[in-house]
Amino acid sequence: DAKTTQPNSMESNEEEPVHLPCNHSTISGTDYIHWYRQLPSQGPEYVIHGLTSNVNNRMASLAIAEDRKSSTLILHRATLRDAAVYYCILRSITSGTYKYIFGTGTRLKVLA
């Protein structure tokens, strides 16, 4: 399974944009890039996913490098409720097994 590398922690001021990086240099051509976040004492929740093109949804934007070896999750205006651990995950659609392998994630702290 391809691995991802993320910084252990990041800080942001409230109402400012946050860019959370992820390196996945061993990504294969069919691996989707998924982002989940885990709020304190809760199960992970889906944020966004993409394959090659940048993606936007109501929660965030996902910017994918042209060579797909890295990606960045963008929270446009961080709020205190965005304080969580953010996981970048690669998910293959050709292996026949659709499991999600989590790394250690990035703990985002939002300062009021």
Partner 1 sequence: NAGVTQTPKFQVLKTGQSMTLQCAQDMNHNSMYWYRQDPGMGLRLIYYSASEGTTDKGEVPNGYNVSRLNKREFSLRLESAAPSQTSVYFCASTQERAMNTEAFFGQGTRLTVV
User: Would you tell me which residues interact with partner 1 (CB under 8 A)?
Assistant: 32, 34, 36, 41-46, 49, 85, 87, 91, 96-105
The minimum distance between CB 104 and partner 1, in angstroms, equals 5
The minimum distance between CB 22 and partner 1, in angstroms, equals 13
Q: Which is nearer to partner 1, 99 or 112 (CB)?
A: 99
Q: Which is nearer to partner 1, 13 or 54 (CB)?
A: 54
The one-character DSSP state at 5 is: B
The minimum distance between CB 42 and partner 1, in angstroms, equals 6
Q: Which is nearer to partner 1, 66 or 71 (CB)?
A: 71
87 forms beta bridges with: 36
Q: What is the largest CA-CA distance in the chain?
A: 45
Q: Which is nearer to partner 1, 53 or 97 (CB)?
A: 97
Distances (CA, A) of 10 to 20, 53, 56, 63, 89: 8, 25, 22, 18, 18
